[in-house]
Amino acid sequence: MADGDEDDQTREAVDRRDAEHDPFGAPGPPVSRHAPFYLGFMGALGVLLALLVGIAVRTMSSVLVLIIVSIFLAVGLNPIVEWLMRRGIHRRWSVVIVTLGVLGVVTLFVVSLVPVLRDQIQALIENAPGWLEQLRRNTTVQDFDEKYDVIDTVSERLEDPDLAQQAFGSVFAVGLAVLGAVLNAFLVFVLTLYFLSALPKIKQAGYSLAPASRRARVASLGDEILRRVGGYVAGAFFVALTAGITSFIFLEIVGLGQYALALALVVAILDFIPLIGATIGAALVTVIGLATDVKIGIACLIFYVIYQQVENYVIYPRVMRSSLDVPGVVTVVAVLIGGSLMGVVGALLAIPTAAAAMLLLREVVLRKQDAS
């Protein structure tokens, strides 16, 4: 009995000590991670988190596009900055020089394009009455008007008192769109300047996230991707510059000298857009040539058909051979996918993105497959 009493006293002492240590009782075993409730609850939290992230990305999509474009431009301009640095200029001043150069090109484009737009609008206003009178005299138009009463309908529409209010609303909407485009361009310019100035620190911070054992390889692959992106931008700039200079010389010769600089700049800028940019620029110049003189328009059409063949099969492959190693079919597919996802911006970013993806596929995935 003595031993039993001692055991009871010992258990009571232990219980009292546990109660003092945890007055609410000893905790039970943890919830099993294989329990149905736990799996369902954590799965629901994961789905909810994914939905929230998707909604946030969709809400910030316009801002993300501006950031991506700014990074792309900064990486593309970085080789010029590094070239100036190799000439003994500090990075800060190299960035300033490149920025001033970009601003000079943009200013030249705007200043040279405004007179062309003004002249075209003025010519349209002056020629509109004559065109309308010619339409009235045309027998086909007269028959069409007798059937569908088009001219009277247009006249009534022009005399509608609500037309001014609707026109003002349309002009106001266009003005807001232009203001938004100018604001976005300014934001891209500022972000590009920041990214270009801090690009070495951004690279170092990004590479430091990789494990120490793989950091050197990650840095090598990252530098190669940046080199290819910069090479693509430099190559695209050279191709566009060639298109612009060639167009300027041709337009001076063919008889469109008063519009040569502006149209050449338009062709050069549109030439940056893969696949369709050069065609759009050629079509625009051809339309203006036809509006000036039919012979000039035909000459423009023939010239740009020949030039695009030379650019697509001679100039572009040779310029891009050193910076990109992307098959033609991959280029076309990438541009189509990028354009469908992000419009013109996606088409511009598609080719260097495809080049980076192919580099990672060849150096990471295929190497693992060969080693296994």
Question: Longest Cα pair distance anywhere in the chain, in angstroms?
Answer: 131
Q: Which of 8-12, 106-110, 311-315 has the least mean pLDDT?
A: 8-12
CB 348 within 8 A of CB 240: no
What are 57-103's pLDDT values in tens digits? 888 878 888 888 888 888 888 888 888 888 888 888 888 888 888 88
Q: Which residues contact 135 (CB under 8 A, 6 or more apart)?
A: 141
Q: Is 178 helix (H, G, I), strand (E, B) or coil?
A: helix
Torsion region of 290: left, alpha or beta (phi above 0 gives left; psi -120 to 50 gives alpha): alpha
Q: Which of 14-23, 305-314, 339-348 has the least mean pLDDT?
A: 14-23
CB 26 within 8 A of CB 18: yes
Q: Measured between alpha carbons, how far is 354 from 347 in angstroms, rounded to an integer?
A: 11
User: For the residues of 318-369, what is the DSSP string, one character each?
Assistant: HHHTTT----HHHHHHHHHHHHHHHHHHHHHHHHHHHHHHHHHIIIIIHHHH
Nearest one of 203, 183, 226, 196 to 63, comparing CA atoms = 183
Q: Looking at this protein, which amino acid is placed at residue 370?
A: D
pTM equals 0.65
pLDDT of residue 252: 87
What are 324-362's pLDDT values in tens digits? 666 767 777 887 888 777 777 777 788 888 888 888 888
What are 220-276's pLDDT values in tens digits? 888 888 888 888 887 888 888 888 889 889 988 888 777 787 788 888 888 888 778
Length of the chain: 372
Q: Measured between alpha carbons, how far is 228 from 240 in angstroms, rounded to an integer?
A: 18
Nearest one of 302, 274, 275 to 285, comparing CA atoms = 302
Percent of the chain with pLDDT over 70: 72
The whole-chain average pLDDT of the chain stands at 77
